[in-house]
Amino acid sequence: MTTATSKPQAGPKPAGAAGTEKEKWLHAYRQMVSIRLFEEQVNEVYTRALMPGLAHLYSGEEAIAVGICQALRVDDYITSTHRGHGHCLAKGASPDRMFAELLGKEAGYCRGKGGSMHIADPATGNLGANAIVGGSVGIATGAAFTAKTLGTGRVAVCFFGEGALGQGSLYEVMNLAQLWQLPVMYVCENNQYNEYTHYQETTAGTILGRAAAFGIEAASVDGQDVRAVNEVATRLIERARSGGGPAFLQCDTYRYSGHHVGDINREYYRSKQEEHLWKTDRDPILVLTKWLTERGYADAASLDQIASEVRAIMESAVKFAIAAPYPNVDEVEKHVYA
Amino acid sequence: MPERELTFAQAVREALAEEMRRDSRVCIIGEDVAEAGTPFKVLSGLVEEFGAKRVVDTPISEAGFTGVAVGAAMTGLRPVVDIMFGDFITLTMDQMVNQAAKAHYMSGGHWKVPMVMRTTLGATRRSAAQHSQSLHAWFSHVPGLKVVLPSTPFDAKGLLKTAIRDENPVIFFEDKMMYKLKGPVPEDDYTIPLGVADVKRSGDDITLVATSSMVQVALGAAILLEREGISAEVVDPRTTWPLDEKTLIDSAKKTSRVIVLDEGYGRYGVTAELAAVIAEGAFYDLDAPVKRMGAMHVPIPFSPPLEDATVPTEQTVFEAARAMCKPS
Ligand SMILES: Cc1ncc(C[n+]2csc(CCOP(=O)(O)OP(=O)(O)O)c2C)c(N)n1
């Protein structure tokens, strides 16, 4: 088959694998801090009523997006969710155009027409965030179908929250992916809550048991440990890339904020004590900080330096987005059809 | 040399085969599409020519494989999915309406979804309420989708080739009762643009706007009307979206009377939309309100005399048209 529209854009090297171990994990650190500080700015901008719509923050879950995207090539595909800023950044999007999109500005990744829940970026293989829970499982599996049919060597990663385990279409495509041995990895970000309901109230059986039913290679990992996530993701992704078939990865994690920024009183569904425990004992940035300093790869000063560089980038991204113009109203009828 | 004739099913198959030869990215995905060639045998022979990698049998997972087709289309293939019966589009709704129809717009024009969904419509096959519906209005309602309703073998081939070459999701509805209908189909590579209506028969006294197999019904009614001295024009929009409003309105202005015929439900349906377009565009030239004829507003019954009562026929259209032209 010809590959008219799908030339690989980069070599087979994982985006984050460049350089030494130290460089790799310092890069991971920077990316996790980028997501954390991006979301801090979102919270700020949202609270100042500058951002229309809804904002679902990824804070607390950074190690998953970063650990997995570090195991991907630039031309590999991802699909994302309503809680998608972290995936988008980790895959390589730039914060200024992301913020512009969040504010509905023309300079945004989707010219302001997608917003927070629909950012897509072909240049980094991001097929798009999706505001339908489980809505992108078909798209990711289809991208893997293309990769296999055209022999491009690409892999597709499908991020979804454990809430999507309730959607039948997930199991339809898992069945297809295993039958056809497609290079796709399903990543279940189990942050414990489907909106305001604990997942154990909505999920019968076990999460991995679902993958086992289809004979899909499956693993679970501490989603707060970026190195652990990266290690297992690398194995499963390379297995898929070399024709070994699909994989399912359960990442246990926690979202620090409400379901969305306005979800402030949360005691009726989870305790402050539980939140505190995750934030102090299992924070993904602290976990990596500890490892980096123990190894002598970094010290407090060098990590602070990274954080302040990132903060400056995020602040200027927000400034850029606030100053950027809205699309012209005649844009409204553009791109309905290609 | 007499013109070559093909059945509607053969015309569809020829369009697919030609497009698959022309473009190696075109593939077929669906239930029993390969060796079985679908229950209607529309696809017979294709897997033998193109292989199982391009004529892909799936499990019975309409939502799943339609979703896969959306993703495959976004990333470089041009899938044609087969939904065995139009009634089963219900299972694909999220994929078509929330994903396929919106990916281009939501991404600010970055992603495209060049896919085709082929499915069926049409009653009177004695298949009862879950295998007989004509639900094309549902997709016609959604911006980002295009909807094609071929009425002849000639149109089926030309429109399907265009649909496959289109950069957008296109749903192609085939009336299952027309698969054996024969008509002239050129052997060459021709296409018919989407959004261009066709005047199937010209006339002066009344316009019968009809879609899909209702075009055949309208043409039959036109012959009956001719015997009564009434000259009927039959206009086939061929696509509900994009819609060739001008041809419909021009014909209405010319004849001053219009019946709109479509096998879907009339309420909030295709006939409602077409009648509104005509009423808005030709109001001052009309001698009578636009009349609509479609499926009765009931689930399609199994019992043959009941089922037959649900859809317009040559006779009922003839009578309605005669009453409009010669009020007693
Ligand atoms: C099909 C569908 N049903 C319901 C919703 C409303 N909704 C948005 S997010 C959400 C919870 C999702 O939980 P989960 O998948 O675990 O993701 P998380 O928010 O925890 O990251 C719900 C119910 C939706 N967007 N789509």
Q: Are B8 and B174 in contact (CB under 8 A)?
A: yes
Q: How far is CA B291 from CA A70, B206, B307, B311, B312, in A?
A: 63, 11, 22, 15, 13
Å between B226 CA and nearest CA of chain A: 42
> Rounded CA gap, A251 and A233, in Å?
10
| pLDDT for res A323 | 98
Å between A218 CA and nearest CA of chain B: 20
- pLDDT for residue A2 is more than 60: no
Torsion over CA: A315, A316, A319, A321 (sign): negative
CA gyration radius, chain B: 20
Output DSSP code: residue A153: -
Torsion over CA: B305, B306, B307, B310 (sign): positive
Q: Which amino acid is at A201?
A: E
Residue A176 to residue B95, Cβ atoms within 8 A: no
**B5-184 adopts what CATH topology?**
Rossmann fold (3.40.50)
Q: State in Å: Cα A255 to ligand 1 middle.
A: 13
Minimal Cα distance from A114: which residue of B? B106
Q: Whose CA is nearest to atom 6 of ligand 1?
A: A133
Q: Whose CA is nearest to atom 22 of ligand 1?
A: A195
Query: Residues B258-308: pLDDT tens digits?
Result: 999 999 999 999 999 999 999 999 999 999 999 999 999 999 999 999 999
Residues of chain B with CATH 3.40.50.920: 198-323
- Predicted complex: ipTM over 0.90: yes
A265 CB neighbour count, 10 Å cutoff: 7
> Rounded CA gap, B162 and B190, in Å?
9
Return mean pLDDT, chain A. 95
> Rounded CA gap, A99 and A45, in Å?
10
Global pTM reads: 0.95
> Rounded CA gap, B15 and B9, in Å?
10
At the second CATH level, the architecture of B198-323 is 3-Layer(aba) Sandwich (3.40)
Output DSSP code: residue B166: -
Q: Which residues have CB under 6 Å of ligand 1?
A: A 82-83, 131-133, 161-164, 191, 193-195, 259
- pLDDT for residue B71 is more than 70: yes
- pLDDT for residue A11 is more than 50: no
The secondary element (H helix, E strand) that includes residue B146 is: strand B146-148
Residue B104 to residue A137, Cβ atoms within 8 A: no
Residues in chain B: 328
Count of helices and strands (H, E) across chain A: 11, 7
Query: Residues B191-228: pLDDT tens digits?
Result: 999 999 999 999 999 999 999 999 999 999 999 999 99
Active site residues per annotation of B? 131
Structure tokens at B179: 């698969």
Q: State in Å: Cα B301 to ligand 1 middle.
A: 39
Residues of B in contact with A172 (CB under 8 A): 59, 61, 63-65, 67
| pLDDT for res B178 | 97
A175 CB neighbour count, 10 Å cutoff: 18
The CA angle A260-A264-A270, to the nearest 5 degrees, is 95
Q: Whose CA is nearest to atom 18 of ligand 1?
A: A161
Q: Are B297 and B266 in contact (CB under 8 A)?
A: yes
- pLDDT for residue A13 is more than 90: no
Residues of A in contact with B94 (CB under 8 A): 132, 135, 169
Bridge partners, B173 (sequence order) = B119
Place of tokens 């995207």: A69
| pLDDT for res A10 | 40
Q: State in Å: Cα A194 to ligand 1 middle.
A: 6
Residues of B in contact with A77 (CB under 8 A): 75
> Rounded CA gap, A265 and A250, in Å?
28
Does the bond joining B150 to the residue before it have cis omega, within 30 degrees of 0? no
Å between B103 CA and nearest CA of chain A: 8
Q: For residue A173, give the nearest of B64, B109, B146 by CB distance.
A: B64
Residue B64 to residue A175, Cβ atoms within 8 A: yes
CA gyration radius, chain A: 19
Q: Residue A144 in 3-state DSSP?
A: helix
Residues of A in contact with B111 (CB under 8 A): 120, 122, 127-128
Q: State in Å: Cα A46 to ligand 1 middle.
A: 20
Return mean pLDDT, chain B. 97
> Rounded CA gap, A20 and A263, in Å?
42
With residues binned 3-state (H G I as helix, E B as strand, rest as coil), the percentages for chain B, rounded to 5, are 40, 20, 40
Phi, psi of B205 (to 5 degrees): -95, -30
> Rounded CA gap, B237 and B214, in Å?
12
Residues of chain B with CATH 3.40.50.970: 5-184
| pLDDT for res B1 | 65
Q: State in Å: Cα A186 to ligand 1 middle.
A: 17
Q: Which residues of A98-123 are buried (b: 16+ CB within 10 A; e: fewer)?
A: bbbbbbbbbbbbbbbbbbbbbbbbbe
> Rounded CA gap, A246 and A228, in Å?
19
What is the band of B327 on the pLDDT scale with cuts at 50, 70, 90? confident
Average pLDDT over residues B69-85: 98
> Rounded CA gap, B17 and B160, in Å?
11
What is the band of B2 on the pLDDT scale with cuts at 50, 70, 90? confident
Q: Whose CA is nearest to atom 4 of ligand 1?
A: A133
Q: Are A256 and A59 in contact (CB under 8 A)?
A: yes
Minimal Cα distance from B92: which residue of A? A169
Orientation of helix A62-69 relative to helix A226-241, angle to 10°: 40
| pLDDT for res A18 | 59
Q: Residue B181 in 3-state DSSP?
A: coil
- Which of A59, A80, A82, A193 for a ligand 1 pocket mutation test, highest count of atoms within 8 Å of Cβ? A82
> Rounded CA gap, B34 and B16, in Å?
13
Walk me through the domains of chain A, giving residue ranges and CATH numbers.
15-324 (3.40.50.970)
Residue A138 to residue B64, Cβ atoms within 8 A: yes
Place of tokens 């009927």: B232
Query: Residues A88-123: pLDDT tens digits?
Result: 999 999 999 999 999 999 999 999 999 999 999 999
Q: For residue A143, give the nearest of B25, B61, B71 by CB distance.
A: B71
- Which of A54, A59, A118, A195 for a ligand 1 pocket mutation test, highest count of atoms within 8 Å of Cβ? A195
Q: Are A250 and A186 in contact (CB under 8 A)?
A: no
Dihedral, CA of residue B89, residue B92, residue B94 and residue B96, to nearest 10: -80
Q: State in Å: Cα A81 to ligand 1 middle.
A: 9
The CA angle B161-B162-B163, to the nearest 5 degrees, is 90
- pLDDT for residue B76 is more than 80: yes
3-state secondary structure B188-220: CCCCCCCCCCEEEECCCCEEEEECCHHHHHHHH
Q: Residue A74 in 3-state DSSP?
A: coil
Residue A111 to residue B108, Cβ atoms within 8 A: yes
DSSP codes of every residue in B145-192: -EEE---SHHHHHHHHHHHHH-SS-EEEEEEGGGTT-EEE--SS----
Phi, psi of A115 (to 5 degrees): 80, -175
Average pLDDT over residues B43-72: 98
> Rounded CA gap, B242 and B319, in Å?
31
Task: Tell which atom from ligand 1 comes closest to the C-alpha of A191.
Answer: 20
Residues of A in contact with B64 (CB under 8 A): 138, 141, 169, 172-173, 175-176
Query: Residues A282-318: pLDDT tens digits?
Result: 999 999 999 999 999 999 999 999 999 999 999 999 9
Query: Residues B223-259: pLDDT tens digits?
Result: 999 999 999 999 999 999 999 999 999 999 999 999 9
> Rounded CA gap, B154 and A23, in Å?
64
- pLDDT for residue B137 is more than 80: yes
> Rounded CA gap, B260 and A104, in Å?
42
